Chain A
Amino acid sequence: MIDVSSLTIDKVHEHLVCGDFSVKELVDACLSQGRKHASLNAYLEIYGDIEGEIKRAQREIDTKKEKADVLTGIPLAIKDNILVEEKKISCGSKILEGYSATYDAHVIAELKKRGVIFLGRTNMDEFAMGSSTENSAFGTTKNPYDEKRVAGGSSGGSAAVVSFSGALGALGSDTGGSIRQPAAFCGVVGLKSTYGSVSRNGLVALASSLDQIGPFAKNVGDTRILFNAISSYDPKDSTSYNEKTRKKMRLDVSSKKKIGVPRHLFKEGVDEDVLANFEETLSSFKSIGYEIVDIELPSSEFALSAYYIILPAEASSNLARFDGVRFGLHKNGNDMIGDYGATRGEGFGIEVRRRILLGTYVLSAGYYDAYYNKAIAVREKISEEFLEAFESVDVIMTPTTPTPAFKIGEKTENPLAMYLSDIFTVSSNITGTPALSVPSGFVERDGKKLPVALQIMAPHFGEEELFKIGCEYEGLRDTKDGIIK
């Protein structure tokens, strides 16, 4: 059996082309990792009928050899809120019981064209509401580095799968940190790209003005390959940018070699070891010629507050479609309206109900101005400050998360404490700018090594800058350290 734990997409492509192993052997190796780590509950379903895709990919490689697409035959895992035609999809919720997708999401169609093999769907917090995958109706996903701890969320399943090589990469969705935070907790790379760079068509919506689909991978190079494969313009998503506008929005990328650090945001609530690791990271950037500049993003202190108004407001409206009439679960009440209440009461878990009620509250007459309108004004202010900061620095850096992975159950009784784990990630969703989480080493807890990560943020459509700096950073580290076998 091939050892997939140290294999990345670009290396695998070479092996496939040279015939060192077949697509079937590669898929079997990933699935065997999946079985070995089944107790982590990362996969919700492994697709049983992929023989045809495997054969097609193998034929393609055999005929085209080195001209074959780098993604042909590459096994990926997909978060359970992205539609794959004729496959089940649950969004980690009971309310979609029995539902199968009726079409492919744009990103899935793009990857199918390239010959990607979809291995299965991954666990997530119900409707992507959560930071620990504890809110899934199908059980918690455990952290590959310590089973007593969470994998992070909401895309915890995808992060864990990539961490133990149950696939070579995965897709997730990021509304306030749902790719970057679990990537940090599981020691893999995760990208939330510029809002509008990846089509949301076929992603079950949480908060439409914040959601982005994005990749998980073992290194920055693979992340770049996956991002480039899914980031095409799609007329079916009205917020998707066409190529012309993307080019226009891209700032002059002549590097100033300056990194901005908003230290005022780390005054409290950040773990000492995480902070020490972050300072060490900054020193390594200094050693390769970067200047570290203190920057102020005063309104970012309010980003999480604005986020927890905008998100529930949009979610309460998006989730109105789950009413037990057209698809999914149906529960009987006394009348038509009673059916809605019974279906939604039983079908939605507690966190989803909580956020729908919160959204209903902030949008109700008399509160709308004080909450929702204030939040979107603050959102504009935060965006202005970010763009101003990017005039003097290339990128902004923070730790991805204020702490390493926390214990299962530690924050379930206190929703607010759970929300605070997204404190560094929400800003780039609020501003629509891209952010990359890259593993930055380990801290020790209860005798276990837990991954921590660096977040690099760039201006709109600055993904290439993120990949460049991310790769430079990987070159400074021993990336073989701590690989899950």
Chain B
Amino acid sequence: MDKENVFKLADLAHIEISDTEAEKLVRDLSSIVEYVSHLQEVSGVEALEKKVGAFHNIMREDENPHDSGIYTEKLLNEAPEREGDYIKVKKIL
């Protein structure tokens, strides 16, 4: 783990960090990664099925929709910037 790595991760995660913070993060993340690397000592788990949770593909019928527009104002009111019934963002293309 070095500063370049940390900036790369921050970039992937869309989080701006300062230079001094990156230095501290190098130290913090290195010690945490070193600790969790103890997992490599565990053997004999390769054959275990790798799954998370007891449920898979919980689906429901796409039916009985609520009336169109009843939540629009409520949700749009939370947006930092809006224009009419749209959320406003900076130009993308």
Contacts and interface: CB of A to CB of B under 8 A. Distances in A.
Interface in A299-324: 299, 302, 305-306, 308-309, 316, 323-324
Interface string B15-32: 111000100010011011
A419 B21 CA distance: 20
Given A102-B78, A309-B36, A325-B87, A344 B13 contact: yes
Nearest to B16: A345
A253 interface: no
Contacts of B92: 336
A415 B52 CA distance: 26
Interface string B50-91: 111111001010000000000100110011110000010111
Contacts of B51: 376, 380
Interface residues of A, number: 61
A345 B25 CA distance: 14
B12 A325 contact: no
Contacts of A316: 13
B80 A330 contact: yes
Interface string A264-277: 00000000000000
A375 B71 CA distance: 40
A345 B15 contact: yes
Contact of A378 (B10, B42, B79, B90): B42
A401 B24 CA distance: 28
A361 interface: yes
Contacts of A329: 80
Given A360-B9, A360-B12, A328 B80 contact: yes
B90 to A, nearest CB: 4
Given A302-B42, A335-B90, A415-B28, A381 B48 contact: yes
A371 B50 CA distance: 13
A235 B40 contact: no
Interface stretch (A32-40, A139-147, A280-288, A348-356): A348-356
Interface in A61-86: none
Which of A195, A239, A361 has the most B CB atoms < 10 Å from its CB? A361
Given A239-B55, A326-B78, A361-B9, A381 B42 contact: yes
B48 A377 contact: yes
A342 B13 CA distance: 12
A100 interface: yes
B79 A327 contact: yes
Nearest to A196: B54
A362 B37 CA distance: 11
A373 interface: yes
B40 A374 contact: yes
A238 B58 contact: yes
Contact of B55 (A238, A350, A362, A370): A238
Contact of A326 (B25, B32, B39, B79): B79
Nearest to B22: A357
A299 B15 CA distance: 35
A383 to B, nearest CB: 10
A342 B81 CA distance: 16
Nearest to A377: B45
Contacts of B91: 335-336
Given A374-B42, A377-B48, A380-B48, A364 B36 contact: no
B31 to A, nearest CB: 5
A176 to B, nearest CB: 13
B39 A302 contact: yes
A340 interface: yes
Contact of A354 (B12, B28, B42, B75): B28
Given A361-B9, A376-B51, A341 B32 contact: no
A28 interface: no
B9 A357 contact: yes
Contact of A325 (B35, B53, B75, B89): B89
A60 interface: no
Contacts of A309: 36, 39
B17 A415 contact: no
Given A326-B79, A336-B90, A336-B92, A378 B16 contact: no
Given A326-B87, A380-B45, A102 B50 contact: no
A239 B53 contact: yes
B17 A345 contact: yes
B93 to A, nearest CB: 10
Contacts of A361: 5, 9, 29, 33
Contacts of B78: 99-100, 102, 326-328
Contacts of A335: 90-91
B60 A235 contact: yes
Given A195-B53, A357-B9, 9 more contacts: A238-B55, A325-B87, A326-B87, A336-B92, A337-B14, A344-B14, A344-B16, A345-B17, A354-B25
Q: Which 8 A-B pairs have the closest CB atoms?
A: A345-B16, A330-B80, A238-B58, A340-B14, A327-B78, A377-B45, A341-B16, A305-B36
6 contacts: A309-B36, A335-B90, A340-B14, A356-B13, A377-B46, A377-B50
Interface of B: 5-6, 9-10, 12-17, 21, 25, 28-29, 31-33, 35-42, 44-46, 48-55, 58, 60, 71, 74-75, 78-81, 87, 89-92
